[in-house]
Chain A
Amino acid sequence: MSGERPPEREHGLHLLLQMLRVRRFEERCVELYSAAKIRGFMHLCIGEEAVAVGVMEALQPEDAVVATYREHGHALVRGVSAAAVMAEMYGKLEGCSRGRGGSMHLFDAATRFCGGNAIVGGGLPLAVGLALADKLQGHKRVTACFFGDGAVAEGEFHESMNLAALWRLPVLFCCENNLYAMGTRIERYESETNLALKAASYEIPAWSVDGMDVLAVEDAARKAAAEVRAGGAPCFLELRTYRFRAHSMYDPDLYRPKEEIERWKQHDPISALTAQLREGGVLRDGDIEELERSVAEEIDAAIGFAEAGTLEPVEDLERFVYSEGPAA
């Protein structure tokens, strides 16, 4: 699958805007982390933006998303407001998880964003179950399940592939292959590095896609999501991508050569799409500036919202350990 056709102006600008929102949001997060406004673990997807942006194009509002601890981009693109995500990073009551989750545990019931999951592979069985619920209730929905290449080594990956295929459950498995399980390169932890082959061995239709090309990702995701929705059975996408930053804020990034990082930066998905739009003649003077201005405005407002947010009273510490509502 490829994304070689030039996009329409409006759609191209929309994709560019979404990727810029994620990139600039995370760049500001780094500053805020340095300023100790954000604490804990924080994992950035800078470099990988095309994956979340491309896949989300294929989803409908009634679909569900299960993500990992590297999920700021997925949440923003899915429609969780930048303000609610930033307030969550600040640990504020106004955050999308009332501040109780932080960077790794963004939740939003309204957009069926079923969490950033911080145990590698832990989200896959959940996605299988969400899809099972849809199937049993006769909903024609897709559950998009994001996970990294590292998860492929977990038992939960194999158990979930088998179960989803066996029961023909509508899951779109999206494997973000950035070549590293934290600091261990894929050749050093996988006997078979063709990840699509693993899914195919469970009789799941599987494709490998250039995850640095947002149009290719969108194209592949639309076809796969349509197949999942129509057939009610899973599909698998291996999205070949790369993170430009370290694994987390604690990672000195000493396990990969600088030249490798520089080489991948030549495939920056934002620069690539910008160039494509320019070559296609659909990008006008001032477009980029306009996008950047609107993104900066959104993020400034999100930071303002988070700064002005309130801290949950300590008396409420033990709330939500058990559900307060009546059973839905």
Chain B
Amino acid sequence: MSASATVTVSYREAIREAIRESMLADQRVFLMGEDVGAYGGCFGVSKGLLEEFGPERIRDAPLSESAFVGAGIGAAMGGMRPIVEVMTINFCLLALDQIIDNAATITHMSGGQFQIPLVIRMTTGAGRQVAAQHSHSLEGWLAHIPGLKLLAPATLADARGMLAPALADPNPVLIFEHGSLYNVEGELPADAGAVDIERAAIRRAGGDVTIVAYGGTLTTALAAADELAAGGIEAEVIDLRVLRPLDDAAVIESVTRTHRAVIVDEGWRSGSLAAEVSARIMEQAFYELDSPVARVCSAEVPMPYPRHLEQAALPQASTVVAEVQRMAGASG
């Protein structure tokens, strides 16, 4: 196969292929969660895997988020490499005790004696008119917790390549898949594989302003950058990729060149990841800034059902553009 050969895949298929590959490579890997087997995954990610790997390794779990997430932690302590699928981030609230009090603490509380090599995948985000209880973006909350690592694949390459290094990591790794991305299709090298899970990435180079995004908001940031380019402003778009530990250096390096930053975050503004990134820019690059850091976040309201209100609540490219223009105007 030539190195330049590519295949057309969806985000969903890229994750499925990553799971397949990990399961073929390591007998200790298994997938566990609600409807991952016979149903094929709520979002179709694991379709066909039950037939290929059987019910021992593709385990349909009861609606017991705390028990099966905790069982994933215990199985990881016991020598396995579980991939636990929590159907959506909304339901991880039912397993927070296990995630925060066990997965994140046991290595430390045991003085390093026990490792928790566990991957928890979950769908996140809004935009599908499923109202307040099914539209959460709580990555920022979970990013608060020492002991966890958090990944947000926003591209096909990351969807395909983040799982293997996450499974190889001796720590609990949470992977957030934005619901709006599953149907995104594109080209990937046929031999696409593992990617790094430490660094943020520059998705678009530019010298006038830094737009920081992750997961579902990368699309928003790139759309805003295109619009700004038409008006002569070149935005640099940084995809955080890793939400904990944050790659400060990449953000600071960019801001040091552009002197302006806008953070686009689907979480609520108060106590958000955007707040954290903003604080770090302030701490590390205050004198580089030509303008206060701006944030475009979700409106502070439980996500409403009707489309016009939901869109009004979510970060929009037009808002990002307006923020950048305001900033450019204000600082001349």
Give the segment of B113-121, B132-140, B273-281 that binds chain A.
B113-121
In this assembly, does B101 line the interface, its C-beta being within 8 Å of a C-beta of chain A? yes
How far does the alpha carbon of A100 sit from the alpha carbon of B82 in the complex, in Å?
27
Q: How large is the interface on B (under 10, 10 to 19, 20 to 34, 35 or more residues)?
A: 35 or more
In this assembly, does A1 line the interface, its C-beta being within 8 Å of a C-beta of chain B? no
How far does the alpha carbon of A321 sit from the alpha carbon of B82 in the complex, in Å?
20
Q: Which of B78, B106, B112, B146 is the one whose CB lies under 8 Å from A133?
A: B78
How far does the alpha carbon of A113 sit from the alpha carbon of B30 in the complex, in Å?
25
How far does the alpha carbon of A326 sit from the alpha carbon of B112 in the complex, in Å?
12
B58 to chain A, nearest CB (A): 12
How far does the alpha carbon of A126 sit from the alpha carbon of B69 in the complex, in Å?
9
Q: Which of A131, A166, A323 is the one whose CB lies under 8 Å from B107?
A: A323
Write out the residue numbers on chain B whose beta carbons fall within 8 Å of the beta carbon of A115: 106, 109-110, 114
Write out the residue numbers on chain A whose beta carbons fall within 8 Å of the beta carbon of B62: 159, 162-163, 166
Q: Are A124 and B70 in contact (CB-based, < 8 A)? A: yes
Given A107-B113, A117-B102, A323-B171, A130:B75 Cβ within 8 A: yes
Q: Which of B108, B109, B169 is the one whose CB lies under 8 Å from A327?
A: B169
Q: Are A130 and B111 in contact (CB-based, < 8 A)? A: no
In this assembly, does B302 line the interface, its C-beta being within 8 Å of a C-beta of chain A? no
Q: Which of B74, B116, B168 is the one whose CB lies under 8 Å from A125?
A: B74
Write out the residue numbers on chain B whose beta carbons fall within 8 Å of the beta carbon of A97: 109-111, 113
In this assembly, does A11 line the interface, its C-beta being within 8 Å of a C-beta of chain B? no
Q: Which of A105, A130, A163, A324 is the one whose CB lies under 8 Å from B64?
A: A163
A173 to chain B, nearest CB (A): 13
Q: Are B70 and A129 in contact (CB-based, < 8 A)? A: yes
In this assembly, does B283 line the interface, its C-beta being within 8 Å of a C-beta of chain A? no
Q: Are A126 and B115 in contact (CB-based, < 8 A)? A: no
How far does the alpha carbon of A301 sit from the alpha carbon of B147 in the complex, in Å?
35
Contact with B along A75-97 (1 / 0, CB 8 A): 00000000000000000000111
In this assembly, does A150 line the interface, its C-beta being within 8 Å of a C-beta of chain B? no
In this assembly, does B322 line the interface, its C-beta being within 8 Å of a C-beta of chain A? no
In this assembly, does A322 line the interface, its C-beta being within 8 Å of a C-beta of chain B? yes
In this assembly, does A230 line the interface, its C-beta being within 8 Å of a C-beta of chain B? no
In this assembly, does A149 line the interface, its C-beta being within 8 Å of a C-beta of chain B? no
Given A156-B70, A320-B111, A323-B107, A133:B98 Cβ within 8 A: no
A171 to chain B, nearest CB (A): 10
A229 to chain B, nearest CB (A): 16
In this assembly, does A188 line the interface, its C-beta being within 8 Å of a C-beta of chain B? no
Q: Which of A100, A129, A321, A327 is the one whose CB lies under 8 Å from B117?
A: A327
B92 to chain A, nearest CB (A): 14
Write out the residue numbers on chain A whose beta carbons fall within 8 Å of the beta carbon of B56: 136
Contact with A along B67-83 (1 / 0, CB 8 A): 11111111111111010
Residue of B nearest to A157 (CB): B67
B:163-220 near A, CB below 8 Å? 168-171
**Chain A: how many interface residues by the 8 Å CB criterion?**
49
Write out the residue numbers on chain A whose beta carbons fall within 8 Å of the beta carbon of B115: 323, 325, 327-328
Contact with B along A117-137 (1 / 0, CB 8 A): 101001011111111111011
Residue of A nearest to B147 (CB): A321
How far does the alpha carbon of A66 sit from the alpha carbon of B30 in the complex, in Å?
23
Q: Are A159 and B74 in contact (CB-based, < 8 A)? A: no
How far does the alpha carbon of A166 sit from the alpha carbon of B55 in the complex, in Å?
13
Q: Name which of A108, A322, A324 has the most chain B CB atoms within 10 A of its CB.
A: A322
Q: Are B102 and A132 in contact (CB-based, < 8 A)? A: no
In this assembly, does A109 line the interface, its C-beta being within 8 Å of a C-beta of chain B? yes
Q: Are A325 and B61 in contact (CB-based, < 8 A)? A: no
Contact with A along B219-233 (1 / 0, CB 8 A): 000000000000000
In this assembly, does B97 line the interface, its C-beta being within 8 Å of a C-beta of chain A? yes
How far does the alpha carbon of A159 sit from the alpha carbon of B69 in the complex, in Å?
11
Q: Which of A122, A127, A328 is the one whose CB lies under 8 Å from B101?
A: A122
In the complex, 20 of the A-B residue pairs with CB atoms within 8 angstroms, ordered by the A residue number, are: A97-B113, A100-B110, A100-B111, A107-B109, A107-B110, A109-B114, A114-B77, A124-B67, A125-B66, A125-B74, A126-B77, A129-B73, A129-B75, A129-B82, A131-B78, A132-B78, A136-B56, A162-B64, A320-B107, A323-B170
* Given contact pairs A133-B78, A134-B78, A163-B61, a sample of 18 additional A-B residue pairs in the complex whose CB atoms are under 8 Å apart: A97-B111, A109-B110, A115-B106, A117-B101, A117-B102, A122-B97, A122-B98, A124-B67, A126-B77, A129-B74, A129-B78, A130-B75, A132-B71, A132-B75, A133-B77, A137-B80, A327-B117, A327-B168
Top 4 A-B pairs ranked by shortest CB distance? A129-B74, A125-B70, A133-B78, A98-B111
Q: B: which residues have CB within 8 A of A?
A: 30, 56, 59, 61-62, 64, 66-80, 82, 97-98, 101-102, 106-117, 146-147, 149, 168-171
